[in-house]
Chain A
Amino acid sequence: MPTFHSSNMGKRMPGWEKKNRSRFTSNTPTQVLNGYQVLPIHLPALLSTSGRSSDSDDEDDFEQRPVVHYLYIRKHETPGDNSPSRTLFVANLPIDTTTLHIQSLFSRIADIAPSHIETVIFLPSPTGSSFQLIPSLSSLKGLQQNEISQIRRILPTCSAAHVVFADIKTMNKALDSLKFQQATPPSWCLYDSVEQETEDTKEMTGSARYRAIHQRRYISSSALQVTIDNFMLAYNKAEIQREREAKRARSMPDEEGFVTVSRGVGRTGVGISSDAFKQEAKKRQKKGELKDFYRFQIREEKKTRMNELLKNFKMDQEKIRELKAKRKFKPFSNKLA
């Protein structure tokens, strides 16, 4: 992962430099928004710089531009719970955030060892949805070793997380470090020693990522067979259990000695008697009545027909008025023909 060189960036973007310098001088208090500490971080480009000259003069070159992302952080307090919290609430996470990213960040700005961050709980976002089109590893069974490729989880934009510290002291240390601005915003990247590769930490983007997703969709049939067998076995078991429960409920009188009458396990409902009645009634009506027999029938039919006609007439008038408003009746106004 290429690291970010702020000195280079500053030169290339005079406008940014000016704006940013005023904001990022040390010992100035950070911005606070609705009780949230605002922490600017640099989002470095991931693009390989090969194929383009690194000292390009193009100032609009997006890849070379320092990009600032803002985290919004405050102490997490559960309403009603008075016990002192050791959790920070971090909002507006970048989409590729992992636990390791958070650990690296705090180690950089507050010198907190990764082990002092107990856990990071990613909160489900109420707005965005996650990419559902990848079959999750957890739902697949019997995969061969070479089929288990980790695909990093990507968060929807504007996600949030609870960062739980080992103790209150560490948390306060972290919080204090946020009060004053950094000389340069910390870079959003992992620290160097990432040993174990898990779904959470795997640094995987671009073609590698999508190849992995593609492969996940084409798992071996043996693995799929195992997965399906497992599922069906569990399902059948549950089904038998449910049937047994239902049977018992049918034969067991409750506290007051009544037996609840319930439907059997037949999957399609029995015909509903009221439906049958309705149909019967319909049939009878068809057979019995003469339509134009009584005078009142004729009169009524005439009346409905007239009302219908009148209604249509009103509707048509309305439509014509609309069309007229749109200047439709100009026969010589077609510009495109």
Chain B
Amino acid sequence: MAKRKRSQLNSAATLTTGTRQHVNEENEFDLEGSGHPVEYSDGFDDDDEGDQSDVSKQELDTANGLSAAEGKMSTKASKMKVKVSQLADDLHNLQEAVQLYKSNIFKMEIDELLTELKIDEDKTKPVDRILHKLKDCIEKIEDSSELLLSEAEKLISKSGITIPFPDPRPPKDAQYRFKYERPSGYNLVGCYLLRTVIKSPERFAVDVVLDMPKSIFHEKDTLNYRYFHKRAFYLAYIAAYLKSRKDLPFDLSYELLDGDHLRPVLRLDSLKDGGEFDFHRVKCYIRIIPGIDQDVFSLTKLLPSRNSVRYNQNPAESLNPTPYYNSSILNDTYFFPSTVFLHKAAKSCDGFKDAIKLGEIWLRQRGFNSSVDGGGFGSWEWGILMATLLQGGGTRGSRILSKGFSNYQLFKATLNYLVSNDFTETTVNIGKEPLTFDMGVFGGWPVLVNNDINFNVLYRMSVSSYRRLRHEASLTVTELDDIKGDHFDSVFLDKVDSLIYQYDFAALIKIPSSRDDKVYRDIGRVFNPSYYAYLASKVYRILHRGLGERASLISIKFSENSKWPLTAPRPSSLGDGTFTLGLVLDPEHSERLIVHGPSAEKTAEAEDFRKFWGKKSELRRFKDGSIIESVLWEPHSERSIVSQIIAYLLQRHFGESTAKHMTIVGDGLAQIFAEDKELGDGSAFTNFQKNLDEFGFLRKLLIDINDLPLRVSSVMPASQALRYASIRLPAEFSIKSVHDFSDVVIELETSSKWPDDMKAIQHSKAAFLMAIAESIKSIDAAILTQIGLDRDLATIENFSYLDILLPSGYAFRVRIQTEREAIMLRNYKPDKDLGRRAHRNFERNFSLAARHTTEFHTMCHRFPFLSPTVRRVKKWFHSHYLSPHIDDILIELVTLSVFLKPFPWSAPASATTGFLRTLYFLAHWDWRAEPLILDVDNTLTIGDIQSIRNTFKSLRINDPECAQTAMFVAVNYEQSGTMWTSPNPSKVIASRITALARASCEVLKTGNAILSNDKSAAGRIFVSPLMDFDFVIHLKTMDGQAGRELSYPPRMESLCDYVGLYCDELQTIFDGNVLLFRNVLKNDVIAGVWDPRILAARNWKVYLGYSAQPCSTEASNADNNNVLVEANIIAMVREMARLGGDLVSKVEILKRVT
């Protein structure tokens, strides 16, 4: 490669079809004027003649808009439709698709995606024309004479522009001379040439490299930025010329090449003048990049271990190597060779180009690109990595990727490789004569080199961005390995890079000015020319050390990509002055209170520890007798330990103002939660634990009762307060209403003596409960019991329960379930429909409630932040008056889904993030088309999932309007999917949930509410506008509700849930006409919405189903027979208010008053 020489640009006369230049004696490089921008001819590779036909065939296919692989597939697919005789063949093909891809549908999805990403090549024609014109122009530029710095600046400033010298500028007394000579090469390189550009809202770059001739450089120019200074002059000279050409109307500006501060480039944007050179429709811009040939400088001087910047005047001190600087120069020599390298790989491997596109879309969704501020890993680095792995990379030089891989296989294997290999420890170094590096010189930075690309391709990556890349890769690999789910969306389509949803802790940090940072100005910039990148890695180092295993990912991002006009000097800062800090936390460790340091005996380490932590560090003696340096943190209701540590470290290492100007994402929201007394603080878990302990006591008590005809065989929790999920914390003596009793289901020994009649069974159960109450009374008189009735005794359903109030102040409500009941209800002969309904209620309130409680309890232990999250989500639901319409279990399952299926992120490790992700999920869940399937213990088989999907499908086929079931949520122990979602929430309510979640997400994002400490902004997501309702009944605060503290033991009547009973009764009376909304936490209003169907005028009939009045518009109509009626909504609201009596304080009719 290095030997390959490119001749001078040929004269325009030879360019009948476009630019043509000799790459090698036999290799031709063809830039066609029509069709494709650039076509490599076959001789370009070392392949033999036989390959030629293959290549042309491929090109033919490509011309048809299909890659070779796609071509085969789609022809097969169409044949299948026509000819049945070729079925076997096709099926074989299909099977192959299943093997080469994750699944058949995955392959089709990828195909669709690739079609979507395809750039219309007809539209890029104007660019090709412009490139030719540019080339002609640049050839006409006159050489300059050799100029000193002052002369050079004077010459350039004549055109009114500046030279974009990197920082530091050349010294005033610089003795070297600047010169412009005609470029020795004019090459189109990069993704546009390779046709791996993807369609996106952003403009893509068309890269043109001008090779600066060797004659203008001196061999020592690699030292002390001299190369970069000369390069900057060269660029400015071209810019000055292009600016003077009035016949080339472009918007010219300077820009950094991939955020590399040492290497500015000239950027050409199209003017929207509709003229000959208007290419703004192509969604691209042109970059003119000065490069050099590989023989200009000696390669050995630029090895990573060499120093090229004499930053220290004292020759006695040794100088550290400057790998970034060296790689930066080397990168300028590799534009064309790397493009050739990628092209070779693409030619040998059919799926290569598409795999680059897949990689690019994957990277882009995760906020990566080649630029320094984009993490330094983009499609180019991805491509080089893949091409490298096609050559080797495995143990003993074996190839990781095979040429026969499909695009998906290439994509996945590359990700796999990223996950399983740490580039900071071992170099990816492939080739016949591998270069040896001492990894030490890179200081823990990732390295990727190969025989063809002889410099560190990843030199723009930081340690932080490299860790982030591997983090994302490992998440995606987990997804792709999961054969049960599709995951296509979260791998390719979802925007992963999101400050709000991605991290468990996220903050904006103001960057202190670079002028104050002396270390950076003296030495830092030698190793990391971008001040932002320099500071980001410093922040990373400090936080990485300070947080330790609390954080599994520390991401620090900044943006520094602005262009600047030719006329202006280079701005001191190209970014917006903020870092975004994002942490993925380890829930096991994140809230630990102590940071353990070294033992006091290890003086040096202890000193270092003290220096790092400052006065926070103290010597402590621990239980095991060790005396070690340590830091202790106090739990705080609003500030997590992690956020305290970060604030402290920023203040200590970056100054007071930096710490003060940190904006924590979701801070306002966290404050709202912290101030909510019912949600409680971090001690919530212990509160629930207390309730569970008391439940354990009750269980023992019940099982030990021995004077019953049948003994109690099992006692099962069936309440949200017994699965860490109730909003209100269970606490001693806090029983305020009937809803504060924790439900418990008990089973008795099996017996054949149960009666044969449903009603008789229910009566016997009540008798048992009374016997239990008697026994308890005889065991401990301090335990209070009270039998209660749920419903009328004449029904076949359970009507009795036993309230038990323990002396500790915890209360339980016990119901009995019997096996016999379940069987008899299912086959209830007298009324099958009634039986089915009753059986469903039985499952819901007894067996499944108990099962769910046990499972959810386990989940709360597996995910420490599930419990606080679900309680916050419930608060959101109730605040929007959805309490009567949504089952608590449904909220719990939806929240659980965010933890079980967090993709593309990892499971939330903070309550606020969990809450936001749940809202995000609700806002995006297309419940009309997608069932929610939860696998709590990974026991569902593919068959199970398929059968659940089939259930859902047939449900939708039978009921396409979702009248019966809107949301469908299936879980291991409830595979019918409708137990908690049908009939409530109805379609109307489900749509409202989606709309409310969307509005909440929107408020948080656009109103910047998520980024402010102001809790009133974030509080808006908990305010449901009453104007959405047709009428609102305002309620008075009753005794026994939130108002008054109660005596203990509470009198039964003071526990009355007035509003609940009132609302239930209203819903029964006006069933089908109105939807009632209320917030059980506040009981301040009952709001209602009429069924729009009853508002229309229609003919009168006796049982219309709602109170009706004659239409007033028809009143004057003489023909009375034609009088229509409409709903008398005012009278109905009046009826409601009359029933409410003294519970009601005010009634408002907000809409549709006729």
Contacts and interface: CB of A to CB of B under 8 A. Distances in A.
A208 B1139 CA distance: 11
B998 A336 contact: yes
Interface stretch (A78-86, A104-112, A167-175, A322-330): A322-330
A240 interface: no
Contacts of A214: 738, 1052-1053, 1055-1057, 1061
B1140 A227 contact: no
Interface string B1127-1149: 01011111101111111111111
A132 B791 contact: yes
Interface stretch (B169-177, B208-216, B832-840, B1103-1111): B1103-1111
Nearest to A126: B1103
Nearest to B1067: A131
Contacts of A326: 929
A320 B108 CA distance: 7
A297 interface: no
Given A235-B760, A331-B113, A336-B1001, A310 B1069 contact: no
Contacts of A221: 770, 773, 787
Interface string A201-218: 000011111110111111
B631 to A, nearest CB: 36
Most chain B Cβ neighbours within 10 Å, of A62, A227, A326: A62
A133 B1110 CA distance: 34
Q: Give the secondary structure class of A's interface.
A: mixed
Contacts of A155: 1069
A91 B1125 CA distance: 14
A206 B1071 contact: no
Interface string B689-704: 0000000000000000
Most chain B Cβ neighbours within 10 Å, of A217, A235, A267: A217
A245 to B, nearest CB: 15
A162 to B, nearest CB: 12
Given A31-B1123, A207-B1143, A316-B108, A218 B1052 contact: yes
A331 B1102 CA distance: 56
B763 A228 contact: yes
A252 interface: no
Nearest to B924: A336
Contact of A207 (B112, B1065, B1099, B1141): B1141
Most chain B Cβ neighbours within 10 Å, of A47, A69, A130, A331: A331
B1120 A32 contact: yes
Most chain A Cβ neighbours within 10 Å, of B757, B760, B1064: B760
A329 B1142 contact: no
Nearest to A330: B116
B759 interface: yes
Contact of B1128 (A70, A227, A232): A70
A128 B1071 contact: yes
A227 B1110 CA distance: 49
A178 interface: no
B786 interface: yes
A334 B794 CA distance: 55
Given A135-B789, A211-B1056, A337-B498, A157 B1073 contact: yes
By size class, the interface of chain B is: 35 or more
A250 interface: no
Interface in B345-378: 361, 364-365
A158 B766 contact: no
A336 B1064 contact: no
Given A158-B1105, A306-B87, A334 B793 contact: no
B405 interface: no
A31 B1110 contact: yes
A23 B1115 contact: yes
Given A309-B95, A320-B112, A130 B1068 contact: yes
Given A47-B1144, A70-B1109, A329-B115, 17 more contacts: A45-B1137, A67-B1130, A92-B1108, A128-B1071, A132-B1068, A135-B793, A136-B793, A136-B794, A160-B1103, A206-B1139, A207-B1143, A209-B1139, A231-B760, A231-B793, A317-B108, A330-B116, A337-B494
Q: Which 6 A-B pairs have the closest CB atoms?
A: A206-B1141, A205-B1141, A214-B1056, A337-B495, A206-B1142, A127-B1105
Interface of B: 80, 87-88, 91, 94-95, 104-105, 108-109, 112-113, 115-117, 200-201, 361, 364-365, 489, 492-495, 497-498, 500-501, 738, 752, 755-757, 759-760, 763-764, 766-767, 770, 773, 786-795, 799-800, 920, 923-924, 929, 998, 1001-1002, 1005, 1038, 1052-1053, 1055-1058, 1061-1062, 1064-1065, 1068-1073, 1099-1110, 1112, 1115, 1120-1121, 1123, 1125, 1128, 1130-1135, 1137-1149
22 contacts: A31-B1115, A62-B1137, A63-B1147, A129-B1068, A133-B790, A139-B794, A156-B1068, A157-B1132, A160-B1103, A205-B1139, A207-B1143, A213-B1061, A214-B1053, A215-B1053, A218-B789, A225-B767, A228-B766, A232-B767, A235-B755, A235-B759, A235-B760, A331-B361
